[in-house]
């Protein structure tokens, strides 16, 4: 369906890296629901991998069901990036993605992330060093540029194509924009037009199958990558394929299905990270699920103190009893309590204020707020 260099993929929909979230448990949850082929790890520091730093090694933890897998690397020393990529190739990783669009200060300071986008020649050299040493494809993830005056992504994508990159993932915002404002589809289209053969994968604010279809149609991109939208709807990959194939929008997952998947996610977190740590990590994951539950204060309050699997099931039972007051006789949420439909920034009328758009798909609070 789509090829990244030598790697043939069954799906042109991708899971975007979300540091702290796109770990093995979440990737497995989404894969089990279908529609996704290549998934990516959170970004990993190349040097830390070479130093066999335990935290970095945990970030690349995978298993046989988690295939094909790309690892996203960041760093600016070509030899380190190459050697880390070689190590990953030996371990059976299917592709290496280079982070060029991460606006977190820690990453920019060492010359990785968005800083790379302003230094075309150096970045192309880094890619060439990696491509020449590897059998597996190397891809790049970038934003449109540093700011509105410096939309460097088309030039960068073209230079990287010459350097042997196998695909370009582009988030349709600038570094200066952070996560605010609208995703710029024309900007993504310019990147598509700037390359000759390599697939360009569009990204940003895709929260519904219709939004994915719109991004394909407006930009001519070869694939769409979905990050936060996969949290609100882990079925989004399967549902988008259904829409593209049949023209019919599949129904949203039911509340019961959402709860079942959330429980599966916790079980996998406990398996991979151990009960204590898995539960602590799940404190920030569960509220993403509950965004689509309707009234959820009685779920969100106790879940931030989650410490064990048994406690989770207890609080869930309590919540289900509390939530019943908002439901009709058939057990469905009464219409006035149902969460509004999801919509992507680029599907909103252009007169809508950017702040309102931002609320539609929030960036979680905490250190990741500046991503
Ligand atoms: C919590 C969080 C963590 C992220 N971590 C990464 C990362 O590790 N590497 C990266 O290239 N982008 C990262 N991003 C950016 C996403 O991959 C994606 O480009 C962005 O969220 C827009 O897509 P979306 O609207 O589908 O989420 C992160 C975004 C968020 C919200």
Question: pLDDT digits over 239-271, tens only?
Answer: 999 999 999 999 999 999 999 999 999 999 999
Cite the DSSP H helix spans in 93-165.
105-109, 120-133, 153-163
pLDDT attached to residue 1: 84
Tens-place pLDDT, residues 91-150: 999 999 999 865 566 666 667 776 666 678 889 999 999 999 999 999 999 999 888 888
Please tell me the distance between residue 329's alpha carbon and the centre of ligand 1 in angstroms: 40
User: pTM of whole model > 0.85?
Assistant: yes
Atom 10 in ligand 1: residue holding the nearest Cα: 17
Please state the φ and ψ torsions of residue 8, each to the nearest 5 degrees.
Answer: -85, 130
- Torsions phi, psi for 333 (to 5 deg): -60, 130
Q: List the beta bridge partners of residue 141.
A: 99, 169
102 is known as an active-site residue: yes
Q: Cβ < 6 Å from ligand 1: which residues?
A: 16-20, 42-43, 72, 99, 101-102, 141, 171, 203-206, 226-229, 361, 363-364, 368, 371
**pLDDT tops 90 at residue 192:** yes
Q: Is 110 within 8 Å of 80 (Cβ atoms)?
A: no
The continuous run of DSSP H or E covering 219 comes out as helix 209-219
Contact assessment for residue 289 and residue 295, using Cβ atoms and an 8 Å cutoff: no
**Distance, CA of 50 to CA of 317 (rounded, Å):** 45
* Residue 326 and residue 337 in contact, taking contact as beta carbons nearer than 8 Å: yes
Of the pLDDT bands very low, low, confident and very high (cuts 50, 70, 90), residue 356 is very low
* Cα distances (angstroms) measured from residue 317 to each of 51, 260, 322, 324, 332: 45, 13, 9, 11, 16
Q: Look at residues 334, 332, 342 and name the one whose alpha carbon lies nearest to residue 256.
A: 332
From residue 310, alpha-carbon distances to 106, 264, 269 in Å are 38, 14, 14
Nearest CA to ligand 1 atom 4: 18
- 173: its two tokens: 């915002």
Write the residue with the smallest CA distance to atom 3 of ligand 1: 18
> What is the torsion angle, in degrees rounded to the nearest 10, for the CA atoms of residue 54, residue 108, residue 278 and residue 271?
-60
Phi-psi group of 19: left, alpha or beta (phi > 0 → left; psi -120 to 50 → alpha; rest → beta): beta
pLDDT in tens, 325-347: 999 998 899 999 999 888 888 88
């Amino acid at each position: 369906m789509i090829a990244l260099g030598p790697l043939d993929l069954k799906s042109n929909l991708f899971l975007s890296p979300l540091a702290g979230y796109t770990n093995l448990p979440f990737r497995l949850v989404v894969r089990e629901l279908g529609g996704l082929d290549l998934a990516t790890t959170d970004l990993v520091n190349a040097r830390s991998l070479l130093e066999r730093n335990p935290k970095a090694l945990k970030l690349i933890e995978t298993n046989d069901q988690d295939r094909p897998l790309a690892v996203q690397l960041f760093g600016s020393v070509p030899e380190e990036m190459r050697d880390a990529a070689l190590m990953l190739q030996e371990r059976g990783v299917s592709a290496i993605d280079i982070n060029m669009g991460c606006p977190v200060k820690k990453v920019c300071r060492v010359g990785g992330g968005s800083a790379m986008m302003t230094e075309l020649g150096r970045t192309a050299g880094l890619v060439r060093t990696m491509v020449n040493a590897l059998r597996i494809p190397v891809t790049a993830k970038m934003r449109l540029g540093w700011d509105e005056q410096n939309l460097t992504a088309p030039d960068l994508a073209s230079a990287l194509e010459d350097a042997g990159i196998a695909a370009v993932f582009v988030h349709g915002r600038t570094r200066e924009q952070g996560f605010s404002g609208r995703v710029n589809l024309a900007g993504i289209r310019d990147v598509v037009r700037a390359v000759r053969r390599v697939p360009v994968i569009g990204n940003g604010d895709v929260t519904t199958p219709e939004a994915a279809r719109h991004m394909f149609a407006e930009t001519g991109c070869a694939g769409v990558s979905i990050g936060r939208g996969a949290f609100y709807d882990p079925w989004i990959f399967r549902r988008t394929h259904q829409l593209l194939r049949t023209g019919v929008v599949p129904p949203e997952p039911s509340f019961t299905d959402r709860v079942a998947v959330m429980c599966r996610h916790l079980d996998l977190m406990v398996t991979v990270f151990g009960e204590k740590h898995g539960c602590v990590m799940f404190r920030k994951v569960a509220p993403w699920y509950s965004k689509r539950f309707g009234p959820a204060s009685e779920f969100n309050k106790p879940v931030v103190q989650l410490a064990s699997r048994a406690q989770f099931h207890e609080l869930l039972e309590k919540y289900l009893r509390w939530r019943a007051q908002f439901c009709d006789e058939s057990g469905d949420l009464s219409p006035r309590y149902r969460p509004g439909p999801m919509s992507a920034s680029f599907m909103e009328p252009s007169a809508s204020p950017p702040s309102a758009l931002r609320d539609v798909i929030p960036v979680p609070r905490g250190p990741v707020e500046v991503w």
